[in-house]
Structure 1
Amino acid sequence: MLAFIVKRLIQSMLILLGVTFITFALLYLLPADPVRQIAGRSATPETVANIRAQLGLDQPFVVQYLRYLGNLVQGDLGRSYLQKTEVSALIASRLPASLLLMLGAIVCELVLGITMGVIAALRRGTSTDNALMMVSFVGVSAPQFVVGLLMLYVFAVQLQWFPIGGYGTISHMVLPSVTLGILGAGWYSRMMRSSMIDVLRQDFIRTARAKGLGRMRVLLRHALPNAILPIIAMIGIDVGIFMSGIVVVESVFGWPGIGQLAWQAIQRVDIPIIMGVTLVSACAIVIGNLVADIASLFADPRIKVR
C-alpha cells in the first residue's frame, strides 16, 4: 500500500508539473495583454514598457516559467496584477466556500444517483425505470447554467423557499449544491442501475435469498456494497467535473468561491490568479483520484495494487 501511494504521489507531481507548463504556455500565447489592463487605455508606451519590465513580462518564455517554478517551490503563487494581493491569500479566503459547495454537491449526487439507480434496477423494465432513466438523461444533458437559472426562478423567485443568492447558511447552499450535483446524479443513477442489475444476477445473491434472508437485508448487506464500487471510483473524477462547473454555478448564485475568483481573473487577464486557481484545481483533482483509489482498495479487497 505504501509503495502504491508513493508511486501515485510521484505520478501526481509529474501531472501537476505538466499542468503548470501547459497553462503557463497558453497564457503566454494569449492575445490579450495583461499590462494594458493594468496601465489603462490612456497609458503611454513608456508607462506600458516600465510596467512590463517590473512584472518581468518582457523576459523570454523559458525565463518566466522557470522563475514561476522557483517561486512555486517556495510556496509563492505570486501577486495579483490588479488587486495587488498575494494569490495564496486570495485563494485561501475563497477556498472554504468552494469546498463546502463541493461537499454539498457530492452528497446531493450520491443520494439522488444511488437512490434512483437502485429503484430503477429493482423496477427494471417498468414505467418507473423508464421515467427515472429519462430524468437522469435530462440531468446529464442540461447545461448547468440553465439548471441554475431554472432553480433560481422556481424555488427562489416563485416559491421563495430559498434565497436568490449569497453565502452563510444551509439554505444558501441548497440550490447551488443541487445544481452542481444533478449532472453527477444522472451519471451515477445510470451506472448504479447497470451495476445493481449485474450484482443481483450473481450466485451469492441467489444463495442469500435461498437461506431465507429478507429482501431488504439482501439488498443492503449483500447487493448494495458490491454494486456501489464503481461509484466510489468515480467520485475522484467528479472533483474535476466540479472544478469546471463550479465557475458557472458560483457566478449564477453569487457564491464567493474560487470559481467566481477565477471568472473575475479571466475577465481582467489577471494571470497569477488564473495560474493559482488552475494549480489548486489540479491538486484537488489529483488528491480526489488518489483518495478514491485508496477507498476502492479498502472497499473491495479483491482489487490488487499495482
Structure 2
Amino acid sequence: MATYLARRLGQALFILLGITLVTYLLLFLLPADPVRQIAGRSATPEVVESIRRQLGLDLPLWQQYLRYLGRLLTGDLGRSYAQKTEVTTLILSRLPATLQLMAGAIAVELLIGLPLGVLAAAKRGRPVDRALMVASLTAVSAPQFVVGILLLYVFAVQLGWFPIGGYGSFSHLVLPALTLGLLGGGWYARMTRSAMLDVLRQDYITTARAKGAGSARILLVHAFRNAALPIIAMIGLDIGIFMSGAVVVESVFGWPGIGQLVWQAIQLVDIPVIVGVTAVAACFIVLGNLMADIAAPFVDPRIKRR
C-alpha cells in the first residue's frame, strides 16, 4: 500500500508541475498587460517600468516561473497584483464557502442521481425508464444560470422559503447546491443506469436470481456495489471541479467562493491569483482521484493494489 501511495503521489506532483507550467504559459500569451492594469492609464512609462521591476515581470519567463515554483514549495502562492494581499490569504478566506457549496452540491447529486439511476435500470425499456432519462437529459442540458434564476424566482421571490442570496446559514446553501446538484444528478443518473445495466447482464446476477434472491437484494447488494466504481471516480472529479469554483452559480446567488475570486482575477489579469487558484484546484482534483483510487479496492475486492 505504501508503494502504491508513493507512486500515485509522484504522479500527482508531476501532473501539478505540468498544470502550473501550462497555466503560466497561457497567461503570458494574453495580450493584456497586468502592469498597465495596476498602474492605470495615466501612469508614466517610468512608473510602469518601476512596477514591472518590483513585481519581477522584467525577468525572462523561465526565471519568473522558477521563482514561482520556489515560493510554491514553501506554501507561498504570491501576492495579488490588484488586491495587494497574499494569494494564500485570499483563497483561505473563500475556502469555507467553497467547501460548503461543494459538499452540498455533491450530496444533492448523489441523492438525486443514484436512486433515479437504479430505478431506471430496474425498469429498463419501460415508460418510467424513458421518462427518467429524458428528465436527466433535460437537467444536464439546462444552463446553470437559467436554473438558478428560476429557483430564485419560485422559492425565494414567490414563496419566500429561502433568502435571495448571501452566505452564512443552511438556508443560503439550499438553492445554490440544488442548482449544481440538478445538473450533476442528471449525469449520475445516466452513469448509474449504464453501469447497473452492464452489471445486471453478468452471469453471477443470473445465478443469484436462480438461487431465489429478491429483486431488491439483487439491485442493491449484488448489482449496485459492483456498479459503484465509475460513480466513485466521478465523485473524485467533482471534488476538484467544485473546488475550482462554480462561477455562474456563485454570481447568481452572491456566494463568496473561489469562483467569484478567480472571476475577479481574470477581469483584472491578476496572474498570481489565477495561477494560485489553478494550483489549488489541481491539488483537489488529484486528491479526489487519489481518494477514489484508494476507495475502489474496498468497494470491489477484485481490484488489486499493485
TM bucket, shorter chain: over 0.9
TM-superposed CA distance for 1:246, in Å, is 1.0
* CA offset digits 1:82-116 (Å, max 9, x no partner): 21111111111111110111111111111111111
* CA offset digits 1:161-201 (Å, max 9, x no partner): 22111111111111111211222211211111122223233
What is the match of residue 274 of structure 1?
A: 274
What is the match of residue 32 of structure 1?
A: 32
What is the match of residue 238 of structure 1?
A: 238
Q: Which runs of 5+ in 1 are unaligned?
A: none
* CA offset digits 1:267-287 (Å, max 9, x no partner): 111111111111000101000
TM-superposed CA distance for 1:204, in Å, is 3.0
Return the alpha-carbon distance in structure 1 between the equivalents of residues 253 and 277 of structure 2: 19
SS of alignment partner, residue 199 of structure 1: helix
The letter of the residue matching 1:104 is G
What is the match of residue 128 of structure 1?
A: 128
What is the match of residue 74 of structure 2?
A: 74
TM-superposed CA distance for 1:245, in Å, is 5.9
The letter of the residue matching 1:189 is A
TM-superposed CA distance for 1:72, in Å, is 1.0
TM-superposed CA distance for 1:243, in Å, is 4.3
TM-superposed CA distance for 1:159, in Å, is 2.4
SS of alignment partner, residue 146 of structure 2: helix
Return the alpha-carbon distance in structure 1 between the equivalents of residues 123 and 142 of structure 2: 25
Q: Is the 8 A contact 2:117 2:192 kept in 1?
A: yes
Return the alpha-carbon distance in structure 2 between the equivalents of residues 218 and 176 of structure 1: 35
What is the match of residue 7 of structure 1?
A: 7
Q: 1:201-220, aligned counterparts within 5 Å? A: 201-220=201-220
What is the match of residue 101 of structure 2?
A: 101
Q: Is the 8 A contact 2:99 2:243 kept in 1?
A: no
The letter of the residue matching 1:263 is W
Q: Is the 8 A contact 1:180 1:242 kept in 2?
A: no
Q: Is the 8 A contact 2:33 2:269 kept in 1?
A: yes
What is the match of residue 21 of structure 2?
A: 21
SS of alignment partner, residue 255 of structure 1: coil
Q: Is the 8 A contact 1:144 1:245 kept in 2?
A: no
Q: Which runs of 5+ in 2 are unaligned?
A: none
The letter of the residue matching 1:248 is V
Return the alpha-carbon distance in structure 2 between the equivalents of residues 154 and 243 of structure 1: 28
Return the alpha-carbon distance in structure 2 between the equivalents of residues 81 and 195 of structure 1: 48
The letter of the residue matching 1:105 is A
What is the match of residue 261 of structure 1?
A: 261
The letter of the residue matching 2:225 is P
Deviation larger for 131-140 or 202-211: 202-211
Note if 1:292 corresponds to 2:292.
yes
The letter of the residue matching 2:284 is A
SS of alignment partner, residue 67 of structure 1: helix
Deviation larger for 81-90 or 277-286: 81-90
* CA offset digits 1:49-103 (Å, max 9, x no partner): 1111111111111111111111111111111112111111111111111011111
* CA offset digits 1:238-276 (Å, max 9, x no partner): 234334561221122111111111111111111111111
TM-superposed CA distance for 1:219, in Å, is 2.7
What is the match of residue 183 of structure 1?
A: 183
What is the match of residue 162 of structure 2?
A: 162
TM-superposed CA distance for 1:160, in Å, is 2.1
Q: Is the 8 A contact 2:101 2:176 kept in 1?
A: yes
Q: 1:112-151, aligned counterparts within 5 Å? A: 112-151=112-151
What is the match of residue 111 of structure 2?
A: 111
What is the match of residue 198 of structure 2?
A: 198
Return the alpha-carbon distance in structure 1 between the equivalents of residues 270 and 288 of structure 2: 27
TM-superposed CA distance for 1:290, in Å, is 0.6
The letter of the residue matching 1:120 is A
Task: Figure out how many residues of one structure are paired with residues of the other and give that number.
Answer: 306
Return the alpha-carbon distance in structure 1 between the equivalents of residues 21 and 214 of structure 2: 57
Q: Is the 8 A contact 2:244 2:277 kept in 1?
A: no
SS of alignment partner, residue 132 of structure 2: helix
Return the alpha-carbon distance in structure 1 between the equivalents of residues 278 and 244 of structure 2: 10
TM-score of the two chains, using structure 1 as the length reference: 0.94
Return the alpha-carbon distance in structure 2 between the equivalents of residues 73 and 241 of structure 1: 23
Return the alpha-carbon distance in structure 2 between the equivalents of residues 56 and 292 of structure 1: 40
Return the alpha-carbon distance in structure 2 between the equivalents of residues 75 and 261 of structure 1: 19
